[in-house]
């Protein structure tokens, strides 16, 4: 039965390792069908204090044990055991930049990757420059994008190699092979945009917010994708409300605000959903996996409505929608 299911559906798992817990989201998607994903399973295993500190895996044995426990709760047979698994690195450990293509290469490149390797030396040099770390100690990813104005730019993401290696090793300690490693903000944004695409009209603009221990990440998303972004705290802003006001600006109106992550941290900063509604004149919607929990497996209701699963879902989405 597992073989038959795998032929007709793609299965993947997103693994979010925070300072407090390991969160696992398992999703499936029909092959060649324009249907929403199904969240098959959500699991959460608490970590001992100090196992993860500022994105560093301090106690890899404890993390591997938590991963092993989370996966042990999945059905012993079937497609849920044949998973592509992705994990993330924290925003605090990742540097990103966008560079005009002409700054890196005089040759015309198509959007996507760098098949002939002509761009790689220049990308690695740029990553080395922004990180201040020699390229041998970095893990670097990049892609080429063509903007609406016809110009081409290269998006570069770099992180210390030790962050990647620690995640691969912790997963291996639980007999898990990672197929991808992504950035936490990118994964959270992917989940927020996917949820919005299902719930609101395509032409409606919204603010996507993700809150984690180091602060607030926010994006303006329109019909053509991300229009602007910011990170708070930042020296130029005295409050999260001021930061979001500057992000939204005086352009076209915003119809919704989506919030994911540790929303309690926003409350401690004196910002509530009601305050955001009043300040920006639009509804505020907390992210949840519940709309997608229609798979064959029963999902814990508390976890289905938790905004903390945005990163885990975004990681799993990467593996079934790309």
CATH code of residue 169? 3.30.420.40
| 101 and 76 within one domain | no
* Number of compact structural domains in the chain: 3
The whole-angstrom separation of Cα 128 and Cα 150 is: 28
Confidence grade of residue 314 (pLDDT, cut at 50, 70, 90): very high
Strand order in the sheet with 152-160: 94-100, 152-160, 138-146
φ, ψ for residue 220, nearest 5 deg: -95, 125
| pTM reported for the whole predicted model | 0.88
Percent of the chain with pLDDT over 90: 56
pLDDT at 187: 94
pLDDT at 111: 53
pLDDT at 1: 36
pLDDT at 110: 57
For position 108, which CATH number holds?
3.30.1490
Q: Mean pLDDT of all residues in the chain?
A: 87
Between 265 and 224, name the one with better pLDDT. Answer: 265
Confidence grade of residue 142 (pLDDT, cut at 50, 70, 90): confident
pLDDT at 120: 85
Q: How far is CA 149 from CA 42, 104, 112, 146, 271, in A?
A: 41, 19, 17, 8, 37
| 9 and 76 within one domain | yes
**pLDDT (average), residues 71-92:** 82
The answer, yes or no, to whether residue 51 has pLDDT greater than 90, is yes
Query: Residues 111-145, buried b or exposed e (16+ Cβ, 10 A)?
Result: eeebeeeebeebbbebbbeebebebeebbbbbebe
Burial class (CB in 10 A: 0-12, 13-18, 19+), 319: buried
Query: Closest Cα partner for 232 from 261, 211, 254, 262?
Result: 211
The answer, yes or no, to whether residue 210 has pLDDT greater than 90, is yes
Tens of pLDDT, residues 228-241: 999 999 999 999 99
pLDDT at 5: 44
Per the domain annotation, does 291 fall within a domain?
no
The whole-angstrom separation of Cα 274 and Cα 184 is: 27
Confidence grade of residue 21 (pLDDT, cut at 50, 70, 90): very high
Q: How far is CA 126 from CA 55, 100, 101, 110, in A?
A: 24, 12, 12, 20
Percent of the chain with pLDDT over 70: 90
| 281 and 197 within one domain | yes
Confidence grade of residue 3 (pLDDT, cut at 50, 70, 90): very low
Q: How far is CA 5 from CA 12, 207, 222, 237, 320, in A?
A: 13, 37, 36, 51, 14
| 175 and 37 within one domain | yes
């Amino acid at each position: 039965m597992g073989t038959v299911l795998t032929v007709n559906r793609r299965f993947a798992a997103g693994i979010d390792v925070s300072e407090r817990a390991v969160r696992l989201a398992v999703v499936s998607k029909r092959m060649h069908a324009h249907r929403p994903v199904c969240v098959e399973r959500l699991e959460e295993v608490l970590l001992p204090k100090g196992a993860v500190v500022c994105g560093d895996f301090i106690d890899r044995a404890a993390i591997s044990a938590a991963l092993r426990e989370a996966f042990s709760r999945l059905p012993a047979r079937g497609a849920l055991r044949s998973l592509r698994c992705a994990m993330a690195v924290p925003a605090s450990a990742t540097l990103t930049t966008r560079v005009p293509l002409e700054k890196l290469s005089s040759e015309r490149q198509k959007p996507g990757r760098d098949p002939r390797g002509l761009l790689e030396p220049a990308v690695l040099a740029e990553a080395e420059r922004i990180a201040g770390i020699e390229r041998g100690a970095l893990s670097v990813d990049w892609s080429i994008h063509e903007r609406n104005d016809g110009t081409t730019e290269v998006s570069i993401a770099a992180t210390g190699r030790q962050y990647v290696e620690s995640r691969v090793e912790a997963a291996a300690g639980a007999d898990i092979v990672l197929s991808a490693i992504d950035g936490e903000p990118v994964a959270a944004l992917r989940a927020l945009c996917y949820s919005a695409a299902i719930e609101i009209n395509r032409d409606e603009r919204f603010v996507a917010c993700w809150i984690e221990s180091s602060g607030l990440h926010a994006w303006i998303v329109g019909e053509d994708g991300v229009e602007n972004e910011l990170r708070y705290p930042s020296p130029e802003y005295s409050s999260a409300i001021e930061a979001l006001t500057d992000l939204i600006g005086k352009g076209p109106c915003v119809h919704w605000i989506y919030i994911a992550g540790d929303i309690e941290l926003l409350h401690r900063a004196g910002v509530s959903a009601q305050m955001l509604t009043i300040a920006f004149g639009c509804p505020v919607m907390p992210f949840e996996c519940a709309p997608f929990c229609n798979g064959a497996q029963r999902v814990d209701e508390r976890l289905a409505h938790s905004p903390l699963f945005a990163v885990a879902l975004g990681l799993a989405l990467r593996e079934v929608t790309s």
